[in-house]
Amino acid sequence: MEKTDMLPHKAEVLEIKQETETNLNIKTFKVKFIDNDIRKNFNFKPGQFMMVTVYGLGEAPFGFSSSPTEKDYIEFSVKEVGLVTEALHNLKEGDKIGIRGPFGNGFPLDSTEGKNIIFIGGGIGLAPLRSMINYVLDEKNRDKYQRIQLLNAFRSPEDTLFCDDYQWWENSKDTLVKYTIDEPCEGWSKCVGYPHTLIAEELDYNLPDTRVFTCGPPIMIKFITERLQELGIEPSEIITTLEMRMSCGVGKCGRCNIGHYYVCKDGPVFTLEQLREMPDEY
């Protein structure tokens, strides 16, 4: 797909999965491009994003939540917060939407090879991480990476996401998966507390050559990055994604800038080291 094309390509909604129930309304959409050529030529990296059009209404950016190793479909997960996200939530299987992209830099897959990886995802922030988790845990890629650890944080048991993946994540080779919720809750036997308070006790954080990927609400990212540094992880090994309001996706419309960087084009993935160099406006 040409980047210069500001019109989306049509895609069909194959499946809609209600992830969470009450507190946060999150659905995962499995879609495929109608046009075969577009489908075949559409390549993306975990951490990149697409602009999704609800025809006649508007467009909004969403990260890929499926791995590029899945060739037959694309998935993205949407938290209902406003106009476009609400319209997406009202779609039915078989409906058509528009997609353009992929945009942004994506996670650094190559330079992460040979490293130990920790993923810390909070709420809908787990969506873009899931794309990378599924990629590195894929049979074809698993041996390229060392130990893989996940700390998945949710507000409550009601808010857990991607439950269908848990089993195969847990059963993957040399992989540790932890789950936490904010407050104790009847019937919950896993961790309790904000994720930054659990890194030291629940994860093997001090393996050599560890890289941490973290996505979630800004306040969580703030606490996690502070804690990781206290624990001796280098800012260049702490990787996160930023969210900004976006319209074009290609560094032109202007709204996603932080200083002279455009999050849509120079991001959305940044290391903590890069963020420190940038004006503090996000």
Partner 1 sequence: MMIKKIDKNQFKELFDKLKENYNIAAPVLIDKNKKTLVEYHYIDDFDKIDWDEQADSSPKNIIFPQNAPVGNDYKEKQYYDTEQDTLILGVRSCDIEAIKTLDQVFIEDEMYIDKNYKARRDKITLVGLSCPQRNKSCFCDTLGFNPVESNYAPLYIFKDGNEFWIKVKDKKFESVFENLPDGNQDKLEELIEKRINTFTESSFELDIPIPLPEKEMFEADIWEEMSEKCLGCGICTYYCPTCYCFNFIWEGKDGESTKYKNWDSCMFSTYSAHASGHNPRDSKEKRYRNRIMHKFSYHPLNYEGLGCVGCGRCIDRCPVNLDIREALKLTEKYLEEKGGAKSGKD
Ligand X SMILES: Cc1cc2nc3c(=O)[nH]c(=O)nc-3n(C[C@H](O)[C@H](O)[C@H](O)COP(=O)(O)OP(=O)(O)OC[C@H]3O[C@@H](n4cnc5c(N)ncnc54)[C@H](O)[C@@H]3O)c2cc1C
The whole-angstrom separation of Cα 136 and Cα 173 is: 11
249 part of the interface to ligand FES, by CB under 6 A = yes
Question: Does the protein bind ligand X through residue 78 (CB under 6 A)?
Answer: yes
Is residue 253 part of the contact set for ligand FES (CB under 6 A)? yes
Q: Does 255 bind ligand FES (CB under 6 A)?
A: yes
The two beta strands, 261-262 and 257-258, are: antiparallel
Of 144 and 252, CB closest to ligand FES: 252
DSSP 233-253: --GGGEEEE-----SSSSS-S
* 41 within 8 A of 178, measured Cβ to Cβ: no
Q: Does residue 40 interact with ligand FES by CB under 6 A?
A: no
Residues in contact with partner 1 by CB under 8 A are: 3-7, 9-10, 53, 55-60, 81-82, 85, 98, 218, 243-245, 247-248, 250-260, 265, 277-282
Cα 127 → chain centroid: 4
Interface with ligand FES: number of residues (CB under 6 A) = 12
Each residue 101-130 as x (binds ligand X by CB under 6 A) or -, in order, gives -----------------------x--xx--
**Choices 22-30, 62-70, 139-147, 249-257 (CB under 6 A): range interacting with ligand FES:** 249-257
Give the binding-site size for ligand X (rule: CB under 6 A).
Answer: 22
Closest CB to ligand FES among residues 176, 253: 253
Kindly state the helix (H) or strand (E) to which residue 213 belongs, with its residue range. strand 210-215
Angle at 160 between CA 159 and CA 163, to 5 degrees: 150
Q: Angle at the Cα of 100 (from 244 to 2), degrees rounded to 5?
A: 115
Query: 55: which 2 tokens?
Result: 């025809």
CA 2 to chain centre: 24
Among 58, 98, 235, 251, interactor with ligand FES by CB under 6 A? 251
Peptide bond into 268 cis (omega under 30): yes
- Interacting residues toward ligand FES by CB under 6 A: 246-249, 251-256, 262, 264
- Interacting residues toward ligand X by CB under 6 A: 49, 58, 60-63, 76-79, 81-85, 124, 127-128, 243-244, 246, 268
